[in-house]
Amino acid sequence: MHEIIVGKEGKIYRVYVENTMDRFKIALKDYKISGESKVFVVTDDLIYNTYKNNIEWLKIKIPFKIFYFKNGEQSKNINTVKKVYDFLIENKVDRESILIALGGGVVGDLVGFVASTYMRGIRYINVPTTLLSQVDSCIGGKVAFNYGGIKNIIGSFYDPEFVYISLNFLKTLDRKEILNGLGEIIKYGLISDGKLLSFLNENAVPILNLEHDKLLHIVIECLKIKNRIVVQDVQDLSIRNVLNFGHTIAHGIEVDSKYKIPHGVAVALGILVAIKISEIKLGLDKTLYNKLENLYRKFGLPTRYKVDNYKSFMYAINRDKKNINENINMVLLENIGKYKIKVNVKSEEILEALKLSIIKEE
Ligand SMILES: NC(=O)c1ccc[n+]([C@@H]2O[C@H](COP(=O)([O-])OP(=O)(O)OC[C@H]3O[C@@H](n4cnc5c(N)ncnc54)[C@H](O)[C@@H]3O)[C@@H](O)[C@H]2O)c1
Ligand SMILES: [Zn+2]
């Protein structure tokens, strides 16, 4: 089994990275999850319908019960949280019981939150099924839901017992969800030592063909990079901020496109703008921008975006909760792997960089 250990002191846990769910049972045994514990699975309707006839791996626990909610970000709200609480109460879930979050980042974040609060916290296992959740959201302990139109505003830090990744899940994922994961993967490439970026450059076709050995390498690398950062700043007060690289502009793009541009793709575009600002403000080597554009083309990621409404675009950027006192704080790069967090950037500098990057004529 491939496994990596994540988390900090007294709170470490394993991430198993496998091709299939075949070894899930062994993982349960490793964690001494006994026959007495009742198992409850929470997922979304799309995953439920895709996999309902193919969940042999779950039959290790009979009986288990499944609850599913409508897929998508719009379900990541207090009503769904309530429905899951109701399901747990109806089924007499107790402190011995265990929840399995089977799904992408929406399911993982929401079920993690429910697990952290139900009976003051019960155990849960994360089984991430999207590329984004496998390379990113399945570790780090952030669990949350959206409230009052604000993303992830209600939440806590709560780790699963373990994470089990089966790369096979990615086979049923839409190409757009693969691109979504790639935006974050490229982010990890830029904030680490450059090896991951070279790997992406050399293996674009096999990665898009979902070849397992390539995906295995990527998933493990991203999780190791993320874990190295998270353990230094679990509560997200300082260095963890680097995980928002590309995200300030991405937020503007998501809002301006009325969320038609998915998060990971917006992050990829936001990275290009952040790279351009880094050239201007921190003297970042100018060749990196072209190299990145070429990488995006290999993967079919866009390199251009037409801002529809500059006012709402800039408003979204300014309102970003990562910014303090109206200043636009961004993560910028001095070089690959050498980043600066909370760099103060003026609106005019963003507009200038936009003209020189993603809104430039082809
Ligand atoms: N906790 C963290 O640290 C963290 C980090 C990054 C993102 N997030 C959160 O993650 C969420 C986004 O996650 P996501 O991109 O995984 O989105 P998602 O969970 O909405 O999944 C995307 C779509 O893929 C479908 N899907 C999932 N697995 C599938 C499979 N194997 N086959 C076919 N379809 C499948 C889902 O039904 C959904 O329609 C956001 O809410 C974001 O806030 C959290
Ligand atoms: Zn992100």
- Domains of the chain by range and CATH? 2-172 (3.40.50.1970), 175-355 (1.20.1090.10)
d(CA 78, CA 90): 18
Ligand 1 proximity of 240 Cβ (cutoff 6 Å): no
Mutate to test the pocket of ligand 1, among 110, 130, 152 (most ligand atoms within 8 A of CB): 130
37, 54 Cβ separation under 8 angstroms? no
Ligand 1 proximity of 172 Cβ (cutoff 6 Å): yes
Distance (angstroms) between ligand 2 centre and the Cα of 263 equals 6
Which of 32, 22, 29 lies closest to 57 in space, CA to CA?
Answer: 22
Relative to the alpha carbon of 68, which ligand is closest?
1
Residues 6 or more apart in contact with residue 108 via CB below 8 angstroms: 101, 126, 128, 133, 137, 138, 143
Distance (angstroms) between ligand 1 centre and the Cα of 351 equals 31
DSSP annotation string for 56-99 = GGGTTSSSEEEEEE--SGGG-SHHHHHHHHHHHHHTT--TT-EE
278, 334 Cβ separation under 8 angstroms? yes
Ligand 1 proximity of 254 Cβ (cutoff 6 Å): no
Q: If you take atom 34 of ligand 1, which residue's CA is the nearest one?
A: 173
Please tell me the predicted confidence (pLDDT) of residue 63: 62
d(CA 287, CA 275): 10
d(CA 110, CA 142): 10
Can you give the pLDDT of all 362 residues of the chain as single tens digits? 799 999 998 889 999 999 999 899 888 888 877 667 788 999 999 999 999 887 767 666 556 789 999 999 999 999 999 999 999 999 999 999 999 999 999 999 999 999 999 999 999 999 999 999 999 999 999 999 999 988 899 999 999 999 999 999 999 999 999 999 999 999 999 999 999 999 999 999 999 999 999 999 999 999 999 999 999 999 999 999 999 999 999 999 999 999 899 999 999 999 999 999 999 999 999 999 999 999 999 999 999 999 999 988 988 888 654 554 467 999 999 999 999 999 999 989 999 999 999 998 77
Q: If you take atom 16 of ligand 1, which residue's CA is the nearest one?
A: 104
